[in-house]
């Protein structure tokens, strides 16, 4: 990710939607992994984070995304569970998001957690694209692996295309009932005013280039709006999980959404009881395109700038809490930062 301006903050993309609609599979297609296959009961039970470099996105998107057109290092994807019992994790994922993908199974259409995800996006004012996934399951579908959707769609039999259209218009109608003006993405001019619906398949890769192209367009807008963010400032993040790691004891998987975190920094972390004040012993970064939730090869780094997923090793983290804030103290009074963390904990 080194060719690009590193003072720009990487946009955070949340992937939201109903259980089994294909969120993890879509991410697997983008990052070239098979995380979904390894999940217990085939459902996601934690929030994940994956840094996908711009080069990977451009490779995947073919002609639709050119590296030269974008001045950002890549995207940080946040995977969320769709099962109804994980609504806290969905809100947490939504709260971190700058932009989002709402994944909807084209055959299954809108379901309770699709509505829930839409509520989160509406509440947080997060721009999003709809991935109308599993288009390949349309009866009579003739797959074109990894193709942009338009040529694949245009090349289908009339019957297959009409069946898909019916499902797509059902989704567009549901979005409209919920107050969103939406259309097939190739008819949308302004993706912040109108929601683009992209037929796609996480299995065959069709339409995935288009999902990425729309996301990159939304990121570009987001970057313009958020130019002033100071990625050099004291880091701020959210704990995804507290995990024991051999040789380190309790560690934190964290999404850093603002500023920079450095080895040796004093941090304040929300705990089961009082906020924990400790000093970072090691910062461990997953490989590009790796899901922090399942990765076991980490690179030790001296600092990490937002947005990024990183594992923090430090003393006294046993009582740290998933969902809690992490704040770097740097040149502020530690008591002020403790109060900040307490205030934020009171809100969640």
- Given Mg ion, ligand GTP, none, residue 9, with its beta carbon under 5 to 8 Å by kind, binds none
Q: Report if residue 21 touches ligand GTP, rule: CB under 6 A.
A: yes
Handedness of CA 39, 252, 215, 145 (dihedral sign): negative
Instruction: Mark the segment that binds ligand GTP (CB under 6 A) among 35-43, 228-236, 260-268, 326-334.
Output: 35-43
Q: Report if residue 50 touches ligand GTP, rule: CB under 6 A.
A: no
CA distances from residue 345 to 103, 194, 209, 235, 308 in whole angstroms, order as listed: 30, 35, 39, 17, 22
**Chain position whose Cβ is nearest to ligand GTP:** 82
Pick the closer one to Mg ion by CB: 275 or 286: 286
Could you count the other beta carbons within 10 Å of the beta carbon of residue 313?
Answer: 20
Q: Which residues are annotated as a binding site for GTP?
A: 17-24, 79-83
The CB-of-120 to Mg ion minimum distance in angstroms stands at 16
C-alpha 313/C-alpha 317 separation (Å) is 8
Pick the closer one to ligand GTP by CB: 195 or 202: 202
Q: At what angle do helices 54-61 and 208-225 cross, to 10 degrees?
A: 140
C-alpha 111/C-alpha 19 separation (Å) is 9
Q: Report if residue 34 touches ligand GTP, rule: CB under 6 A.
A: no
Residue in the structure block whose two tokens are 């090349």: 155
Q: Report if residue 36 touches ligand GTP, rule: CB under 6 A.
A: yes
The CB-of-79 to Mg ion minimum distance in angstroms stands at 6
What is the greatest pairwise CA distance in the chain?
67
At a CB cut-off of 8 Å and minimum separation 6, what does 244 contact? 250, 251
C-alpha 65/C-alpha 30 separation (Å) is 13
C-alpha 198/C-alpha 210 separation (Å) is 7
- Given ligand GTP, Mg ion, none, residue 209, with its beta carbon under 5 to 8 Å by kind, binds none
Q: Report if residue 136 touches ligand GTP, rule: CB under 6 A.
A: yes
Pick the closer one to ligand GTP by CB: 147 or 201: 201
The CB-of-165 to ligand GTP minimum distance in angstroms stands at 18
- Given ligand GTP, Mg ion, none, residue 19, with its beta carbon under 5 to 8 Å by kind, binds ligand GTP
In the numeric block, which tokens belong to residue 281? 């012993």
In the region spanning residues 180 to 239, those forming contacts with ligand GTP, defined by CB under 6 A, are: 201-203
The CB-of-202 to ligand GTP minimum distance in angstroms stands at 4
Q: For 32-148, where are the alpha helices, taking DSSP H only?
A: 54-61, 87-96, 112-124
In the numeric block, which tokens belong to residue 254? 């964290």
Pick the closer one to Mg ion by CB: 44 or 174: 44
- Given ligand GTP, Mg ion, none, residue 83, with its beta carbon under 5 to 8 Å by kind, binds ligand GTP
C-alpha 65/C-alpha 267 separation (Å) is 38
Q: Report if residue 107 touches ligand GTP, rule: CB under 6 A.
A: no
- Given ligand GTP, Mg ion, none, residue 201, with its beta carbon under 5 to 8 Å by kind, binds ligand GTP
Instruction: Mark the segment that binds ligand GTP (CB under 6 A) among 134-142, 228-236, 294-302, 330-338.
Output: 134-142
Handedness of CA 247, 251, 256, 260 (dihedral sign): negative
In the numeric block, which tokens belong to residue 69? 């057109």
Q: Which residues are annotated as a binding site?
A: 17-24, 79-83
C-alpha 180/C-alpha 213 separation (Å) is 21
In the region spanning residues 74 to 93, those forming contacts with ligand GTP, defined by CB under 6 A, are: 81-83
Handedness of CA 39, 290, 57, 5 (dihedral sign): positive
Pick the closer one to ligand GTP by CB: 100 or 268: 100
- Given ligand GTP, Mg ion, none, residue 136, with its beta carbon under 5 to 8 Å by kind, binds ligand GTP
Asked if residues 148 and 64 have their Cβ atoms less than 8 Å apart, the reply is yes
The CB-of-19 to Mg ion minimum distance in angstroms stands at 8
Contact residues: ligand GTP, CB under 6 A:
17, 19-25, 36, 42-44, 81-83, 133-134, 136-137, 201-203
């Amino acid at each position: 990710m080194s060719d690009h301006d590193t003072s720009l903050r990487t946009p955070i993309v949340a992937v939201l939607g109903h259980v089994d609609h294909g969120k993890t599979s879509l991410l697997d297609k983008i990052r070239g992994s098979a995380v979904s296959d390894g999940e217990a009961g085939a459902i996601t039970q934690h929030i994940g984070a994956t840094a996908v470099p711009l080069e990977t996105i451009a490779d995947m998107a073919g002609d639709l995304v050119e590296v030269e057109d974008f001045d950002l290092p890549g995207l940080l994807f946040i995977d969320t569970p769709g099962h109804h019992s994980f609504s806290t994790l969905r809100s947490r994922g939504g709260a971190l998001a700058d932009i989002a993908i709402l994944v909807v199974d084209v055959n299954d259409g809108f379901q309770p957690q699709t509505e829930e995800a839409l509520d989160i996006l509406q509440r947080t004012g997060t721009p999003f694209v709809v991935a109308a996934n599993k288009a390949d399951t349309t009866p009579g579908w003739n797959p074109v692996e990894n193709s942009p959707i338009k040529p694949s769609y245009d090349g289908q039999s009339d019957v297959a295309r009409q069946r898909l259209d019916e499902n797509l218009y059902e989704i567009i109608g549901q979005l409209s009932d919920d107050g969103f003006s939406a259309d097939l993405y190739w008819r949308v001019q302004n993706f912040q005013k109108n929601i683009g619906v992209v037929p796609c398949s996480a299995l065959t890769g069709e339409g995935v280039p288009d999902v990425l192209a729309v996301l990159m367009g939304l990121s570009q807008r987001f970057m313009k709006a958020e130019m002033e963010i100071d990625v050099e400032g004291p880091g701020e993040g959210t704990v995804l999980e507290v995990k024991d790691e051999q040789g380190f004891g309790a560690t934190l998987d964290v999404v850093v959404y603002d500023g920079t975190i450095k080895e040796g920094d004093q941090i304040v972390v929300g705990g089961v009881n009082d906020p924990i004040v400790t000093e970072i012993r090691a910062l461990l970064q997953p490989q590009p395109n790796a899901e922090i939730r399942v990765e076991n090869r980490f690179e030790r780094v001296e600092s990490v700038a937002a947005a990024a997923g990183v594992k923090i090793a430090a003393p006294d983290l046993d009582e740290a809490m998933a969902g809690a804030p992490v704040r770097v103290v740097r040149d502020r009074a530690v008591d002020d930062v403790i109060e900040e963390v307490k205030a934020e904990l009171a809100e969640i």
